[in-house]
Homo-oligomer: A and B are copies of this chain.
Amino acid sequence: MSNEQVKFDLSKEYLELVLQAIEKRDKNFIHQTMDGVDPADISLLLDEVDAEEAKYVFDVLNDEVVADIIEELEDDTRKEVIEELEPKEIAIYIEEMESDDAVDVISELPVKTREQVIAAIKDPQTAAHIQELMRYDEDCAGGLMAKEMIVANINWNIKQTIAEIRRQAENVEKIYSVYVVDDLGKLKGKVSVKTIILKGDNVKVQDIYDEDVKSVETFMDEEEVADFMQKYDLVAVPVVNLQGKLVGRITIDDIVDVITEQAEEDMQLMSGISSDVEEDDSVWAITKARFPWLLIGLIGGVLGAWAIGIFEGPLKENTALAFFIPLVMATGGNVGIQSSTLVVQSLANKSAFEESFAKRIGKMFLVAFLTGVVLATISFGIVYLWKGEINLGYVVSISLVCVVMLASFMGTSTPLVLDKLGVNPALASGPFITTTNDILGIIVYLAIANLLLS
């Protein structure tokens, strides 16, 4: 196959050809097939190659494209590839990035390399921006924002504003709005690009700017920023410090990442996977991430065994009692997860008029009682028809009502308490609570059996 015919493609065949080209040091092949391809696609390909091979591709492509590729790489791949680079090389790519992305990459470096990279950055303003941004915690608005934005003084006219846009054209990829500040740098408002296009050169900014600008403060939590931008349908939001000075801008692409990561984290907490692990990580990493929760489950199982052991006597007399342990356990578990998920979701969509704790618990009891009674009636029928023991039927159905109410209470109150403590409430739908509910369910069931059957 001649090079002319080969096109970039996310396929094993093309990947194979790229690997061959890297081995043969065939710059032409890489140039010809990768020029003009979106960096996001190239990064998907490079996620599949070794760090040294990726470095060779970096050397061939132009710096701006490589900077974009680095941003898009998976965390693990990026870490490995960056280790292959000299601080000077990293600095070159860093200078091509928006400041928020630059900080994300630099923060992943070992402290020593970090300083070397910052020292190697040629543009003093870029270096200053990065150092400023690195002071902020990465989970707050300050850690999400970029320094790139168009800022106009309130005393300027449109012509001066357009000159500023021209000056910044290379740095600011997307403008959205021009932010208006006073002489002290305090945020006063915004002017949309539409307005700038439609107004004459000599129109003063102060006559056309929109005072009604929504902003966030540097220390606002990233999830609050996400809620804020979602609520008001913002594509970009200016960030101000405590003094009201404009210090940066957060754009919607970073917020989309926050939302996606949050959803993944919640899902992992709910399913008992303890660190940020993916299916394509190593066997060892996956096992390590899963083991702690399984151990908790195992301890729960042993406690459950101990709880059953307490009632060994009644169990020996009536083996059929053991039959319904799984039924009571599973129902308790299901009810608990359902309740906690509803509360977790309602906590995530914070409303201004939250129902009070008492009202929530009251409603929960109603739902639980209703559900419990119906489930109890059905299971009474089944137990009676199958075993012909009316007493066992009573035991199973009374236990079910109790366990459903207990599990609902645990499922509703745990996320509320966790949220108050500042812990992610999604944890309440995870194995810890399920395990607790299991043990409580067993004890309630066997205690009721012991009471009614002896």
> Is A216 part of the binding interface, using a Cβ–Cβ cutoff of 8 Å?
no
Q: Which of A79-87, A108-116, A182-190, A253-261 lies at the interface?
A: A253-261
Q: Which of A25-33, A56-64, A118-126, A283-291 lies at the interface?
A: A283-291
Q: Is the CB of B252 within 8 A of A338?
A: no
> Is A304 part of the binding interface, using a Cβ–Cβ cutoff of 8 Å?
yes
With a CB–CB cut-off of 8 A, which chain B residues contact A338?
Answer: 271-273, 290, 293-294
Task: Closest B residue to A308 by CB, please name it.
Answer: B323
> Is A45 part of the binding interface, using a Cβ–Cβ cutoff of 8 Å?
yes
With a CB–CB cut-off of 8 A, which chain B residues contact A293?
Answer: 334, 338
With a CB–CB cut-off of 8 A, which chain B residues contact A132?
Answer: none
> Is A4 part of the binding interface, using a Cβ–Cβ cutoff of 8 Å?
no
> Main SS of the interface on chain A?
helix
> Is A326 part of the binding interface, using a Cβ–Cβ cutoff of 8 Å?
yes
Contact among B38, B253, B363 with A283 in the assembled complex (CB-CB below 8 Å): B363
Knowing A48-B353, A302-B382, A331-B294 touch, does A279 contact B360 (C-beta < 8 A)? yes
> Is A157 part of the binding interface, using a Cβ–Cβ cutoff of 8 Å?
no
With a CB–CB cut-off of 8 A, which chain B residues contact A329?
Answer: 301, 326, 329-330
CB distance from A165 to the nearest CB of B (A): 6
Knowing A343-B279, A345-B267 touch, does A272 contact B337 (C-beta < 8 A)? yes
> Is A406 part of the binding interface, using a Cβ–Cβ cutoff of 8 Å?
no
Task: Closest B residue to A378 by CB, please name it.
Answer: B298
With a CB–CB cut-off of 8 A, which chain B residues contact A435?
Answer: 330
Chain A interface residues (CB < 8 Å from chain B): 10-12, 15, 36, 38, 40, 44-45, 47-48, 162, 165-166, 169, 172, 174-176, 192-194, 196-198, 212, 214, 230-233, 235, 252-253, 255-256, 259-260, 263-264, 266-268, 270-273, 277-280, 283, 286-287, 290-291, 293-295, 297-298, 300-302, 304-306, 308-309, 312, 315-316, 319-320, 322-331, 333-335, 337-338, 340-346, 349, 351-353, 355, 360, 363, 366-367, 370-371, 374-375, 378-379, 382, 429, 431, 434-435, 438, 442
With a CB–CB cut-off of 8 A, which chain B residues contact A45?
Answer: 352
Q: Is the CB of A301 within 8 A of B326?
A: yes
With a CB–CB cut-off of 8 A, which chain B residues contact A279?
Answer: 342-343, 345-346, 355, 360
Q: Is the CB of A334 within 8 A of B294?
A: yes
Complex CA–CA separation, A273 to B344 (angstroms): 13
Task: Closest B residue to A365 by CB, please name it.
Answer: B283
- Tell which of A302, A305, A346 has the most Cβ of chain B within 10 Å: A305
Complex CA–CA separation, A294 to B280 (angstroms): 34
Q: Given contacts A165-B197, A256-B259, could you give 12 more A-B pairs where the C-beta distance is less than 8 Å?
A: A10-B353, A174-B176, A278-B345, A286-B342, A287-B371, A294-B338, A294-B375, A304-B326, A305-B327, A326-B442, A330-B434, A333-B434
Knowing A328-B301, A346-B278, A367-B290 touch, does A309 contact B323 (C-beta < 8 A)? yes
- Tell which of A165, A266, A338, A349 has the most Cβ of chain B within 10 Å: A338
Q: Is the CB of B331 within 8 A of A297?
A: yes
Q: Is the CB of A370 within 8 A of B271?
A: no
Complex CA–CA separation, A412 to B48 (angstroms): 23
Complex CA–CA separation, A166 to B197 (angstroms): 9
Complex CA–CA separation, A360 to B280 (angstroms): 9
CB distance from A65 to the nearest CB of B (A): 13
